[in-house]
Structure 1
Amino acid sequence: MNKTYFKATIREISSSWGKFISIILIILLGSLLYVGIRSIGPDLNESGNQYFSQQKLSDLKVVSTMGLTDTDLSKIKTSQSVKSADAIHMTTLKKNRDQVVSVYGYQKAAKLDKLKVVSGHLPRQGNQIVLDNIAKADGYKLGETYKLPNNSHLKRQSYKIVGFVNSPQFISSIDRGTTNVGSGTINYFAYASDSVFKQDTYSMVAVQFKNAAHYAAGTDQYQRYIDQQSDQLKNSLKGRSAKRLAEVQKPQLAKINKQLKQVDAQQTQLTAAAAAGQSAQLTTQQAKLTQAKQKLTKARDQVQNLAKPTYTYADRQSNPGYQDYFDESHSIAAIAVIFPGFFLFIAILITFSTISRMVEKNRREIGLMRALGYNKMEISLKYVIYALLAGLLGAIIGSVAGMFTLPRFVFSLLANNNINDFVGVVPWSYMGQTIVAGLVATLASALIVLVINLREVPTNLMQAKAPKAGKRILIERITPLWNHLNFNQKVSYRNLFRYKGRMILTIVGIAGCTGLILSGFGIQDSVNDLIPDQYEQIQHFQGVATLNKASQQIHSTKISSQKSAVMKSVTVRAAGSNSNDTATLIAPKTGKNFTKFVSLKSASTNKQLHLSNSGVIISEKLATDMNAKVGSHITLNSDEKQVNVKVTGITKNYAGHWLYATKAYYQKVMPVKFAATSVLFKTNQVKKHQRTNLSRTLLKQDGVLNVSFPRYSVASLGSGGLGSVVLIMIVMSGALALVVLYNLTNINISERLRELSTIKVLGFYDREVTAYVARENVIFTIAGIIVGWGIGVFLHRFIMIKAQTGSILFPLVIHYPGFLWSALITLVFSIIIGVITHFQLKNIRMLDALSSSE
């Protein structure tokens, strides 16, 4: 009996391969996208975490404006929170007109920030050097002589290139940071033996904290732990600023005082000689000694008035490309929460309907089996096997395919970072969820219909269900319109509303697929518009120049306007909270024409905001993170002091955390004097070579320390992983639309086989029969597209709000081509299915379909 039922199951599958495969494909596509997309974020995180762990990336770097000494290194190493620390020599040089290079000291015994060799080998002798891998683009090759300009930091200027490397300090494949040397942008780094450095102090100390490896890189848990350990380290170095100043001042003052004593002694001798009338030249010598004494006195005053050195603590987020990598990963993970879930929901909905209708179709067979004495369990076995096969095959194949394909594909497109080794994590939970979903869609639907049917007596089951009674529809009551319709049109409209369940299912299926496609295009639009909207709608300045003197002007015919301002980085903390964000504070010297440089518009009303002497205006995402509202107070940590400021406005903003204040309010609350050492400037020199030339021109001017172009230093999120995920979602949604349309059309034909056979017998041509069915499908498709647009808009908004990570706030926009393409893709697939349907209808065996059901 079991063998017979097994054969019956095989026969059921073989007689309807299209339906069986379509069920598997729907579950497979849903599982593939769900597991694949949801795995991307964790896999990217793990790949980054493994890379940083292998290369021993430091958790923190300590830097001082007066350099670091062995005393600083000792205090850092003995801090309770520190596991290991490496002192690093480094100097940044202008190699030639077009290149700025940061040269680091290489120590074979160093435990942190280990270099990864791309080609060649690491330095083994003092005359050897390795270059950043991106330096290959400038034509450097292994074995060549590499020359640096004369400088006071290195013992030699000529080296042999022995290798090209990547450093875990630079995750970005293009960004190497900024400097006050040359064009202001570091082109690449180099490592030479530590023995060639002549520096008396260290440029920085790399730190690794105890137990930091217990937390995965890029996670909130890791960052909170690092913040806690950083606070302990700061306590260990508390007081070092004053002592370091004394260490610098003491030898210099001793030297100057000794020279002053010598000058005083010489003056005393000259005075005695002059009193004795020994020489007429004594007056000239005494004038020279007076000038020397004035210079020494001035030098002593300068040394005595030296500012205390500032100790800064830069965690991994300050490494070029580090935060961009994890922000992109987090954005993908946020999108993966809803999109694949909705995709899988549509797949389950269609599969549930397909399986339940298949069982319902076999009512007569079930009744016959019961009449022959088979029990309910035996009868159910056939459908359970069918459903299990379809559900498990679809879910397992889809899950495995998704796990092995999509994350690797996205990782391969991340060309803007130096992490080359993909590390995948087996997503057991996601795979389990898809298998459960697949079984719910197949097995559960089969069991529900079986339970309902097996309650009926065999005689009722063996009788065909009476067709649903026809009813007059609303359009039929409009007599003039109804009379103008031909017979086929009247039948089509009656059928539309006669089978409301089928109509709703078809519209929902098409609408779901259209909505998925539209939301994919919308995500792409939001990502692509992020940077342009930020720097065209919000911040209108193209560049920022950092100056040595406050309120200094820059000069160039290429600059159309400029605004002096304070522009500094501050740490923002919400009242009564340990969470904090890094933000940029801008305080213009005058508020006049500030709107030409920054548009401050209310995030809620879009009305113009104005700077106030009673508080600060903050960006929208910062307000969200700090849970701040107009009238709230937040804490700023700047220049090693904390100040409380009032929020007077929340402005629309897309990229970065920003605060804006007037000069008066800045002077009122900040611990340091207002010094407008930054200049925001507007220019039409935005092409790469134009920006480079303008930077060179400005940096030649006295007092200009750095020039940057913020818009062009921001990485585009859509260029790598996120863009590829959107492409995958659009393609997969299209594929789902194709399979869903095919499946729904098959259901439609199988349920109406007798009806379609009847009209063929009545003399309808094949094209007329196809039009008879296609007319309904066209109406369903158009209705589904319209409903799908609404679903897509909602889905896009929900996804983009979830995808807001770090300081990013995506513009909620879908451009009209997205609506057109989503409709066009759905229509094209509908036409393809229409062609397939035409050939299916041609091959209907009318006599079999019309044979007696008794």
Structure 2
Amino acid sequence: MNRTYFKATMREISQSMGKFVSIVLIILLGSLLYVGIRSVGPDLNQTANHYFKQQKLSDVKVSSTMGLTNRDLTSIKQNKQVKTALPIHMVTLQKSRSQIVSVYGYQKQAKLDQLKLVSGKLPTQANQLVLDIKAKENGYHIGDIYRLPKNSNLNRRKFKIVGFVNSPQYVSSTDRGTTNLGNGTVNYFAYVPNSTFKQKVYPTIAVQFKKSSQYAAGTDSYNNYIDKQKTSLKKSLSKRPEQRQTQLQNSAQAKLNKQKAKIKQQEKQLTKIPSGYQTTKTKAAKRKLTTAKAEIKRAEAQIKKIARPTYLYNDRSANPGYQDYFDESHSIAAIAIIFPGFFLFIAILITFTTVSRMVEKNRREIGLMRALGYTKHEIAMKYIVYTLLAGILGAGLGGVLGMLTLPQFVFSLLSNNNLTAFVGVIPWSYLAQTMIAGLVATLGSALIVLTINLREVPTNLMRERAPKAGKRILMERITPLWRRLSFNQKVSYRNLFRYKGRMLMTIVGIAGCTGLILTGFGIQNSVDDLVPTQYEDVQHFQALVTVKKATQRIHAANISGQKSVMAKSITARPTHGTANDTVTLIVPKATANFSQYVTLKSVTTGKKIKLSDQGVVLSEKLATDMNAKRGSLVTLQISGKKVKAKVTGVTKNYAGHWIYTTKSYYHHLTGNSAKATTRLVKTNQTKKAQREKLSRQLLKENGVLNVSFPRYAASALSTGGLGSVVLIMIVMSGALALVVLYNLTNINISERMRELATIKVLGFYDREVTAYVARENVVFTVAGIILGWGIGLFLHQFIMVKAQTGSILFPMTIHYPGYIWSAVITGCFSLFIGVLTHYKLKRIDMLDALAASE
């Protein structure tokens, strides 16, 4: 390209700076959202993965109902895939009525689950401890004296607080797990020197596998690898339950044998005493021996009943907040599959139209250049440079800004976790995709139009294309309606259908932006409605109370109703497959009035489901995970026993995995009676202070072991990150709507300059000229909004299905304010563009616009 032609290209850009900037902005907005939102999921995963590797978070924790010994530790270490196995001392204590603390043994050179110091220092002496950063909520400070309640597992109770820490075992900043003590919720954790413990067995052994670091945490590849290694670990310990049972029985029998030996010795001594010399003491001793023999027989019977211990293998998903974090990340990634792509598609579509119209407008100039002897290549270079600059600037800036800003912004709003150091990755593939998309929209459209135009001879190019002929439209055939329209209205409606391509493109552009805005509001509605829908439409109780005896009733003044049920945590998986879910099994003592506490409604028919003695009712998300439907069989593991249950129904449910059945069918499955030691409690007093007061009242009652309020659980349904993405989507969609409307209106005016100048010459006032154009834009906007609502409904449905993870099923709701706001935002932007259009139309030079084109 010679210097003169290059200057002409720069002049083209400077003279149409508004158009050039609008093209760059559209591509920039599309690229920014596409790269930014698509990067959020991978960046959140990378941040967590970096933190877990840095703190050496264990992969699996092995535990047993009878505790673990050094033989268990040796068996684990002998597994060839195990890199590190660390025995952990731990006990959960009730420090006060309102404080439950999990106390761990601190090992200075611990190779797993290393603490992250927040303030102070780590313990260096036997009388020092560090507390969870969350313990600050209870008023503790560095230097305070901390006293633990008396416990047989500890040889020291008094400590000095030397620091506050975070643990990689607790990803959530609020949730510290559950317990059978107090109100059922652990408030915080503490680490004391390992020497403080005098436990003979280990509650837990933490395990890290050799190749786990090769996989990113939270990914399917990592989860599949861990599942495989858990199976291998179970094989390594397959003989241990029986061995442990034998060991416990032998140990108990050995103690009993010593007692038996003493009794035999005493019997021998008593038999040596002649009957005539037996005293009252001798007779009493004989009675004691008889009683002791009976006790030994009972003890021997008890020894035989010592059960085989159950070994549990909990992976990271059992850690408080771990699965919630990755579920949220996956939900954002699911949104990123469709929303940014559709956003970018709208941007590309509008850009393609803008660039092609720009080239088409310069037909005369292209013809003149051809007549002056410029080659097709030289002519094309002007538009190639123009569109390359716009495409590269828009896609490049947008992609880099999206990568650097949106993921960190979303991460900063995730306040419900202990991960503080953001670690991003460069999304090369997304950057490349958006660059290609940007160039297709700009350079591609220019090349297509140039190829078509450059095939024509210069004389044809130098002539203006003949305007499209007007045609009768459908409205003209409705004579009563057509007669009532003014001349200006008739012209406007004819123009609408005269330029069908322009009409379609404008409506699609507006509809796309409206649909994106509505989708954003819809996602927010679904997220906000999750908890209320679950606990108002499905589960109608406010509290779960665990009692010691199944016959016990609770009598707090503020309780309006209670239902006796058995609530048990079990494992479910399909008969064919590898899926595995932790489920809450609910078995009511009586099915009468159960619907007042839980509404069971069929997913397919919407009718209420009654509990049957023939099978179980599954919650909807669980049924999806299990690939089960009515009539299917699912495998349940109840108290270590595997049983196959028939599905008699699938019920609507939005949070958690639940199975409901009758006590008769439970007995049929397990052979055991259902012990209804849980109460579903109704109360109208649900404010925090009221809940705490009720909890204190209930725990004062004899036999009440636990009180919890599921609806208000700390972080079980964390969706803060999703909400921040929604905010970004709404703002970005609004910005795109503004630029799209401006661009399309600008194209409309520039293409019709002679037409608009003509009607000004004919005597139309400025307001009438504006109305002439604005009337078309109003119709386009209204049509675009209505079509956009349909697009928004589809996008919302698609995204919320993809966003379902773990035990979460989002309600498919969009409230009417979402429709109103999406229309109002689009309408306001259209009005704003209308005002700009008015001032632009006032400045039309009639002489220049009507100058001869030949």
> Does the 8 Å contact 1:183/1:692 carry over to 2?
no
Q: Please state how far the C-alpha of 1:842 moved relative to its aligned partner.
A: 1.7
1:237 is displaced (CA, Å) by: 1.5
Amino acid at match of 1:436: I
Amino acid at match of 2:743: N
Alignment of 1:664-743 (within 5 A): 664-670=664-670, 672-713=672-713, 715=715, 719-743=719-743
Aligned equivalents of 1:550, 1:256: Cα separation in 2? 34
* Partner residue in 1 for 2:348: 348
Task: Give the Cα separation in 2 of the matches to 1:105 and 1:802.
Answer: 42
Per-residue deviation at 1:105?
0.2
* 2:563 alignment partner AA: K
1:244 is aligned to 244
Pair 1:318-2:327 in alignment: no
1:377-436 deviation per Cα after TM superposition (whole angstroms, max 9, x unaligned): 111110111111111110000000000000000001100000111111111111111111
Q: Does 1:622 align with 2:622?
A: yes
**1:661 to 2:668 alignment:** no
Deviation at 1:547, TM superposition (A): 4.0
Q: Which residue of 2 aligns with 1:810?
A: 810
Matched with 1:332 is: 332
* Aligned counterparts of 1:732 and 1:261: Cα–Cα separation in 2: 85
Whichever residue aligns with residue 192 of structure 2, its letter is A
Moved more, 472-481 or 158-167: 472-481
Within a 5 Å distance, the mapping from 1:296-695 to structure 2 comes to 298=298, 301-550=301-550, 552-670=552-670, 672-695=672-695
SS in 2 for 1:805: coil
- Aligned-residue RMSD, C-alpha: 2.1
Q: 5+ unaligned residues in a row in structure 2: which ranges?
A: none
SS of residue matched to 2:202: coil
Match of 1:112 in 2: 112
Deviation at 1:75, TM superposition (A): 1.2
Deviation at 1:564, TM superposition (A): 2.9
Any residues of structure 2 matched to 1:146-225 within 5 Å, and which?
146-225=146-225
1:554 Cα deviation after fit: 3.6
Q: Counterparts of 2:836 and 2:566 in 1: how far apart (Å)?
A: 68
Question: Per-residue displacement from partner, 1:324-369 (whole Å, max 9, x unpaired)?
Answer: 0000000000000000011011101100000000000000001111
Using the TM superposition, give the Cα deviation of residue 266 of structure 1 relative to its aligned residue in structure 2, in angstroms: 4.8
Q: What is the aligned partner in structure 1 of residue 750 from structure 2?
A: 750
For residues 729 and 695 of structure 2, the distance between their equivalents in structure 1, rounded to whole angstroms, comes to: 42
Residue 90 of structure 1: CA displacement?
A: 0.8
Q: Deviations over 1:444-485 (max 9, x none)?
A: 111111111111111111111111111222222333333332
C-alpha contact (below 8 Å) 1:527/1:718 kept by paired residues: no
Aligned to 2:8: 8
What amino acid does structure 2 have at the position aligned with 1:195?
Answer: S
Structure 2 counterpart of 1:88: 88
- SS at 2:164 equivalent: strand
Give the deviation of 1:679 after TM superposition: 3.0
Q: Residue 124 of structure 1: CA displacement? A: 0.7
The answer for the alignment partner of 1:97 in structure 2 is 97
Give secondary structure in 2 for the equivalent of 1:559.
coil
The one-letter code of the counterpart of 1:752 is: R
The runs of at least 4 consecutive aligned structure 1 residues that moved more than 6 Å come to: 270-274
Residue 548 of structure 1: how far off its partner (Å): 4.1
State the partner residue of 1:763.
763
Once the 2 structures are TM-superposed, how far is the Cα of residue 582 of structure 1 from its aligned partner? 2.6
* Partner AA of 1:532 in structure 2: P
**SS at 1:749 equivalent:** helix
Measured in 1, the distance between the counterparts of 2:84 and 2:718 equals 38
Distance in structure 2 (CA, Å) of the matches to 1:261 and 1:834? 104
Corresponding residue for residue 776 of structure 1: 776
Secondary structure at 2:308 match in 1 = coil
Distance 1:349 1:313 in 2: 53
CA distance in 2, matches of 1:550, 1:612: 22
Distance 2:714 2:612 in 1: 30
Listed one character per residue, the Cα deviations across residues 667-713 of structure 1 (whole Å, up to 9, x for unaligned) are 22236553334333323342223333333333444444333222222
Cα 1:718–1:224, aligned 2, differ >3 Å: closer, same or farther? Answer: closer
Could you state the TM-score of these two structures normalised by the residue count of structure 1? 0.96
Tell me the distance in 2 between the aligned counterparts of 1:581 and 1:462: 72
Deviation of residue 583 (structure 1)? 2.2
Structure 1 residues 285 and 697: alpha-carbon distance in aligned structure 2, compared to 1, 3 A threshold: farther
Deviation of the 1:295 alpha carbon? 5.5
Q: For 1:758, what is the secondary structure of its paired residue? A: helix
Counterpart residue identity of residue 585, structure 2: L
Who is 2:19 aligned against?
A: 19
Distance in 2 (alpha carbons) for counterparts of 1:69 and 1:625: 36
CA distance in structure 1 between the partners assigned to 2:303 and 2:122 by the alignment: 41
Superposed displacement of residue 242, structure 1: 2.9
For residue 262 of structure 1, report the CA deviation from its aligned partner. Answer: 3.6
Q: Distance in 1 between matches of 2:734 and 2:309?
A: 61
Note the alpha carbon deviations across 1:520-558, whole angstroms, 9 max, x for none. Answer: 000001111112111211122222233444454444333
Deviation for aligned residue 1:773: 1.5
CA distance in 2, matches of 1:718, 1:107: 32
Distance 2:716 2:247 in 1: 46
SS at match of 1:192: strand
Offset at 1:44? 0.5
Shift of 1:194: 0.2
Is contact 1:328–1:717 with CA below 8 Å preserved after alignment? no
Amino acid at match of 1:33: L
CA shift, 1:117, in A, is 0.4
SS of 2:469 mapped into structure 1: coil
Q: Cα deviation per residue 1:590-649 (whole Å; 9 max; x = unaligned)?
A: 222221222111111111112222222212222222222222222223333322222221
More displaced stretch, 397-406 vs 311-320: 311-320
Which residue type is aligned with residue 512 of structure 2?
G
Given residue 442 of structure 1, which amino acid in structure 2 is its aligned partner?
T
Residue 569 (structure 1) shift: 2.6
Secondary structure in 2 aligned to 1:417? coil
Q: CA deviation at 1:283?
A: 5.5
Alignment TM-score, normalising by the size of structure 2? 0.96
Whole-angstrom distance in 2 between the partners of 1:144 and 1:303? 47
**3-state DSSP of counterpart to 1:570:** strand
- Deviation of 1:8 (Å): 0.9
Q: What residue is the counterpart of 2:231 in the other structure?
A: 231
For 2:667 and 2:798, the matched residues in 1 are separated by: 42
* Aligned counterparts of 1:340 and 1:274: Cα–Cα separation in 2: 101
**What secondary structure sits across from 1:466 in the alignment?**
coil
CA deviation vs aligned residue, 1:255-286 (integer Å, no higher than 9, x gap)? 34434554565577568769435655655666
Quick one: structure 1 residues 686 and 123, their matched pair in 2 at CA, closer, same or farther if it must change by over 3 Å? same
Q: CA offsets, 1:474-527, max 9 Å, x none?
A: 222333333332232222222112211111111111111000000100000111
SS in 2 for 1:799: helix
Identity score, percent: 67
Counterparts of 2:547 and 2:70 in 1: how far apart (Å)? Answer: 32
Tell me the CA shift for residue 845 of structure 1: 1.8
Partner Cα distance (1:280, 1:662) in 2: 60
Work out whether residues 184 and 695 of structure 1, in 8 Å CA contact, stay in contact via their aligned partners in 2. no
Most deviating of 707-716 and 196-205:
707-716
Query: How much has 1:39 moved relative to structure 2?
Result: 0.5
Count of paired positions = 854
**Given that residues 113 and 169 in structure 1 are in contact (C-alpha distance below 8 angstroms), is that contact kept between their aligned partners in structure 2?**
yes
